[in-house]
């Protein structure tokens, strides 16, 4: 029962049908994670396929404009496929291949994880099927076509709220149907053990690079790290290397939707309670009978009623802070970063940018903060135009 | 003999599953009473959940109907209490971990006992996580039913050693739902169980026809049927009771018939 726990959180709450697959994955991961050949192959892919290390860019104009802390952007948007999701996917698909799997399946919200999985599957010659809620296939239509171009089959999920949570449900169901030859490439630091650990480890390259880069540029650690949080993988990837560096504030930005005092948000830490769902004990948006709440965000990638168990623990320990950012604030920040720095962020990442717009001016010019720019915004341009009442055809 | 021990005492058991509150709790109460009269030996009552990841579309839709109609854990306890004034048919609650955990594990088991529940089946709690429920199950005399599946293999003996009440043998990979073909390997699964413990084994997942039920009954101690019944409820809504009862009678007879040939 204590396996795969972060404090009280985590665990392995899955149907018996999946237990052997989870155990097999755990065993394979503990074997390969320290395997020299595996590590070299992965780091070769990270360098020459995904484009790592990603830049740590000093956002000078934004810094001057806000008039407070010095702001750096970790440019995960420049990775191949346009987001941090590729870091985890290359690791997992490589692992699946070593395990003798021939087929990968994955859920996706914004479509970025689906695109990354389809990409890695194409590269490593695996069959690939992606599950995506109907609402998301509508609002992120470009990514659906992108996955199909890459040779993946995309299933539109019409059950439940037709968003990320339901895509996870359907991918889990598919995994129980066909578990022998199939690996489930979970897209965030969530789900049953060992996924939260595996995904965190593969994403932790972000924070390791940031530490090295900031020490080179500034000769000291940053004062704050800011990242958006859906399931929490880009945030965990940034935070992990700094957990023991107590002077560094760790700030996760959740989707506040229309506001945390309305019922239209996905701010799990602000509005959720402890529960057990999708294989893990963590915080969830739910009612008092444990029915999972229908959540909402303009951002398909943050539109999820839970959060990874390691975040739940960091929050309980007071080591990380979680704040809610509304749709309006994120849309404003989406435009702001585009105008001021010439960088169009993913609407998910724009949640982190929006919070920094508020926080930086309250900090001194000697202080340093790093925003994880988890993805690029091309996929969101049409949706943001629609949000502002402009009709654009993709 | 307690109610659970009676389930398999008269021979092969027939175990129907329905989602509580679909289409209404009044209908569920009637269904329980009349299925018991028509030959059901244990009733598996689902507490509807917003996100039933182990269920196929038929039961997913039943859960959605029940929740939309206002079913809650407390109302289901009250309904079972009312059933107990008329019937002593053994009842197992089937639900996911979150409704139990969020309700409060101890309070859930205490209220189950008070309502007259005999067992719980929690498909997203495997052997490893069972420790969280077991102390409260034993404190309040509620059996935690263990599941084994075609992928359990080496795990079967470990699971069987701790199992109580009966073992739920999942016939096939995947989620609940009617299937044409049912895995014959249940025989192997069950013999592994019996090497460790003399505990009844009931087979579920995919069974819908009397022929399938008779065949599974030959290999096991009982047969569990869910989606096929829930589909009838979905089709007839508030008028489903006679249709379900007729089906349960046929299935129960198929399960209990003496073997004539072979
Ligand atoms: C660009 C981007 N950032 C963030 C997220 C949220 O995921 P996580 O919290 O796991 O980083 C997504 C998910 O789709 C995404 O596409």
pLDDT band for position A141 (cuts 50, 70, 90)? confident
> Does B100 reach chain A within 8 Å, measured CB to CB?
yes
Is the Cβ of B98 closer than 8 Å to some Cβ of chain A? yes
* B57/A13 Cβ within 8 A: no
Closest residue CA from atom 14 of ligand 1: A301
Cross-chain Cβ contact B53/A169 below 8 Å: yes
Whether residue A374 lies in the annotated active site = yes
3-state secondary structure A270-306: HHCEEEEECEEEEEECECCCCCECCCCCCCCCCCCCE
Task: Give the model's pLDDT for residue A67.
Answer: 98
Q: What is the pLDDT of residues A278-307, one digit of tens each?
A: 999 999 999 999 999 999 999 999 999 999
Stretch (H or E) spanning B50: none
Mark residue A264 as left, alpha or beta (left: phi above 0; alpha: psi -120 to 50; beta: remaining): beta
In the prediction, which pLDDT does B181 show? 80
Nearest to A203 by CA among A231, A243, A238, A253: A238
Is residue B168 less than 8 Å (CB to CB) from chain A? no
Residues of chain B found within 8 Å of residue A19, distances taken between Cβ atoms: 126-128, 151-152, 155
CB atoms within 10 A of CB B179: 17
Give chain A positions within 8 Å (CB) of B67: 291
The answer to whether A357 and A287 have CB atoms below 8 angstroms apart is no
pLDDT single digits (tens) A65-104: 999 999 999 999 999 999 999 999 999 999 999 999 999 9
* Total residues belonging to chain B: 262
Phi, psi of B124 (to 5 degrees): -100, 20
Q: How many CB pairs under 8 A join A and B?
A: 118
A188 catalytic? Reply is no
Look over chain A and give the mean of its residue pLDDT values, rounded to a whole number.
97
Comparing CB atoms, the residue among A19, A281, A288 nearest residue B126 is: A19
Residue B232 clears pLDDT 70, i.e. is over it:
yes
Burial (CB count within 10 angstroms: exposed 0-12, middle 13-18, buried 19+), residue B183: buried
Q: With CB atoms and an 8 Å threshold, state whether B155 touches A20.
A: yes
Nearest CA to B243 among B34, B29, B14?
Answer: B34
SS3 B177: coil
Residue B128: pLDDT above 60?
A: yes
* Mean predicted confidence (pLDDT) in A171-198: 97
Q: What is the DSSP string of A156-168?
A: EE-STTSSHHHHH
Confidence of residue A391 (pLDDT cuts 50, 70, 90): confident
Q: Is A352 in the pocket of ligand 1 (CB under 6 A)?
A: no
Is the beta carbon of A297 within 6 A of some atom in ligand 1? no
pLDDT digits (tens, 9 = 90+) for A339-372: 999 999 999 999 999 999 999 999 999 999 999 9
Token pair recorded at residue A123? 């590269």
Q: Is the pLDDT of residue A393 over 80?
A: no
Distance CA B179, CA A185 (A): 28
Please, are residues A304 and A266 in contact by the beta-carbon 8 Å criterion?
yes
Taking only the tens place, the pLDDT of each residue in B237-260 is 999 999 999 999 999 999 998 765
Residues A72, A77, A83, A87, CA torsion sign: negative
Does any CB of chain A come closer than 8 Å to the CB of residue B241?
Answer: no
A111 CA closest ligand 1 atom index? 14
pTM higher than the cut 0.80: yes
Supply the mean pLDDT for chain B: 95
DSSP codes of every residue in A6-28: ETTEEEEE--HHHHHHHHHHHHH
Specify whether the CB–CB gap between A171 and A106 falls below 8 A.
yes
Q: Which atom of ligand 1 is nearest to the CA of A203?
A: 11
Position A2 confidence tier, pLDDT thresholds 50, 70, 90 = low
The CB of A117 under 6 Å from ligand 1? The reply is no
Whether ligand 1 lies within 6 angstroms of the CB of A349 is answered as yes
Residues of B with Cβ-Cβ distance to A26 under 8 angstroms: none
Query: What is the phi/psi pair of residue B203, to 5°?
Result: -100, 135
Across the interface, of A16, A276, A289, the residue whose CB is closest to B152 is A16
Q: Which stretches of chain A are assigned E, i.e. beta strand?
A: 5-6, 9-13, 56-58, 70-75, 103-108, 127-133, 153-157, 182-184, 224-228, 249-257, 273-277, 279-284, 320-326, 368-373
Give the residue-averaged pLDDT of A315-338.
Answer: 98
Domains of chain B: 3-260 (3.20.20.70)
**pLDDT number for residue A139:** 80
Instruction: Please report which confidence band the pLDDT of residue A1 belongs to, taking 50, 70 and 90 as the band edges.
Output: very low
Determine the pLDDT at residue B183: 74
Q: What is the pLDDT of residue B262?
A: 45
Torsion of CA A112, A113, A119, A122, to 10 degrees: -140
Does residue A4 have a pLDDT over 90? yes
Q: Which atom of ligand 1 is nearest to the CA of A235?
A: 11
* Chain B residues closer than 8 Å to A176 by CB: 54, 173-175
Residues A42-50 have a mean pLDDT of 98
User: What does each C-alpha distance from A303 to A154, A278, A367, A374, B30 come to in angstroms?
Assistant: 19, 15, 32, 16, 40
From the list B49, B101, B124, which residue is nearest A291 (CB)?
B49
Distance CA(A279)–CA(A269), nearest Å, equals 18
Selected for mutation to probe chain A from B151, B152, B153, B168 (highest A CB count within 10 Å) is B151
Contacts of B94 in chain A (CB under 8 A): none
- Segment B31-59, tens digit of pLDDT: 999 999 999 999 999 999 999 999 999 99
Instruction: Enumerate the β-bridge partners of residue A107.
Output: A131
Q: Residue length, chain A?
A: 394
Out of A83, A233, A282, A374, pick the active-site residue: A374
Atom of ligand 1 nearest to the CA of A77: 1
Catalytic residue from among A70, A85, A211, A379: A85
Q: Is A233 a catalytic residue?
A: no
- In chain B, whose CA is at the least distance from the CA of A174? B174
């Amino acid at each position: 029962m204590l396996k795969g726990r972060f404090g009280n959180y985590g665990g392995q709450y899955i149907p018996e049908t999946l237990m052997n697959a989870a155990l097999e994955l755990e065993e394979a991961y503990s074997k390969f994670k320290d395997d020299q050949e595996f590590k070299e192959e992965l780091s070769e892919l990270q360098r020459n396929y995904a484009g790592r290390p990603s830049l740590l860019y000093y956002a000078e104009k934004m810094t001057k404009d806000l008039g407070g802390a010095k702001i750096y952007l970790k440019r995960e948007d420049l990775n191949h496929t346009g987001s941090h999701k590729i870091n985890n996917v290359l690791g997992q698909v490589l692992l699946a291949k070593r395990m003798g799997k021939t087929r990968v399946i994955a859920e996706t919200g914004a479509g970025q994880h689906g695109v990354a999985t389809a990409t890695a599957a194409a590269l490593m010659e695996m069959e690939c099927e992606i599950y995506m809620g109907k609402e998301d296939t509508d609002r992120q239509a470009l990514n659906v076509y992108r996955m199909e171009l890459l040779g993946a089959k995309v299933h539109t999920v019409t059950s439940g709220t037709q968003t990320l949570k339901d895509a996870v449900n359907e991918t889990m169901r598919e995994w129980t149907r066909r578990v022998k030859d199939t690996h489930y490439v979970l897209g965030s630091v969530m789900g049953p053990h060992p996924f939260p650990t595996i995904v965190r480890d593969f994403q932790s390259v972000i924070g390791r690079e940031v530490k090295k880069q900031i020490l080179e540029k500034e000769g000291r650690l940053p004062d704050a790290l800011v990242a958006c949080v859906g399931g929490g993988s880009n945030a965990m990837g940034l935070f992990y290397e700094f957990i023991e560096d107590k002077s560094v504030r760790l700030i996760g930005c959740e989707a506040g939707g229309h506001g945390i005092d309305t019922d239209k948000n996905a701010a799990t830490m602000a509005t959720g309670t402890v529960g057990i769902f999708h294989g893990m004990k963590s915080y969830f948006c739910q009612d008092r009978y444990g029915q999972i709440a229908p959540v909402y965000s303009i951002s398909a990638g943050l539109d999820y009623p839970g959060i990874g168990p390691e975040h739940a623990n960091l929050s309980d320990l007071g080591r990380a802070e979680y704040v809610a950012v509304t749709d309006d604030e994120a849309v404003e920040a989406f435009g702001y970063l585009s105008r001021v720095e010439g960088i169009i962020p993913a609407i998910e990442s724009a949640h982190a940018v929006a919070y920094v717009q508020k926080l930086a001016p309250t900090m001194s010019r000697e202080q340093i903060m790093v925003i994880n720019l988890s993805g690029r915004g091309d996929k969101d341009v049409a949706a943001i135009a629609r949000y502002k009442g402009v009709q654009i055809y993709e | 003999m307690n109610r659970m021990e009676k389930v398999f005492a008269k021979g092969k058991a027939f175990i129907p599953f329905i989602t509580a509150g679909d289409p209404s709790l009044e209908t569920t109460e009637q269904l329980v009473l009349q299925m018991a009269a028509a030959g059901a030996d244990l009733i598996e009552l689902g507490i509807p959940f917003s996100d039933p990841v182990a269920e196929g579309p038929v039961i997913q839709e039943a859960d959605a109907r029940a929740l939309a109609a206002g079913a809650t854990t407390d109302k289901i306890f009250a309904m079972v209490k009312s059933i107990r004034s008329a019937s002593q048919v053994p009842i197992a609650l089937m639900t996911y971990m979150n409704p139990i955990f969020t309700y409060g594990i101890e309070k859930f088991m205490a209220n189950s006992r008070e309502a007259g529940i005999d067992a719980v089946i929690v498909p997203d709690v495997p052997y490893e996580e069972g420790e969280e429920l077991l102390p409260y199950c034993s404190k309040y005399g509620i059996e935690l039913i263990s599941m084994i599946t075609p992928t359990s293999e080496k795990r079967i003996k470990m699971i069987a050693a701790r199992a109580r009440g009966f073992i739920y043998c999942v016939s096939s990979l995947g989620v609940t739902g009617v299937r044409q073909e049912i895995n014959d390997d249940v025989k192997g699964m069950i013999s592994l169980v019996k090497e460790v413990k003399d505990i009844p084994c009931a087979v579920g997942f995919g069974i819908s026809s009397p022929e399938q039920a008779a065949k599974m009954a030959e290999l096991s101690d009982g047969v569990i049927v869910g989606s096929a019944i829930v589909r009838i409820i979905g089709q007839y809504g508030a008028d489903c009771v006679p249709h379900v009862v007729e089906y349960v009678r046929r299935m129960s007879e198929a399960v209990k018939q003496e073997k004539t040939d072979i």
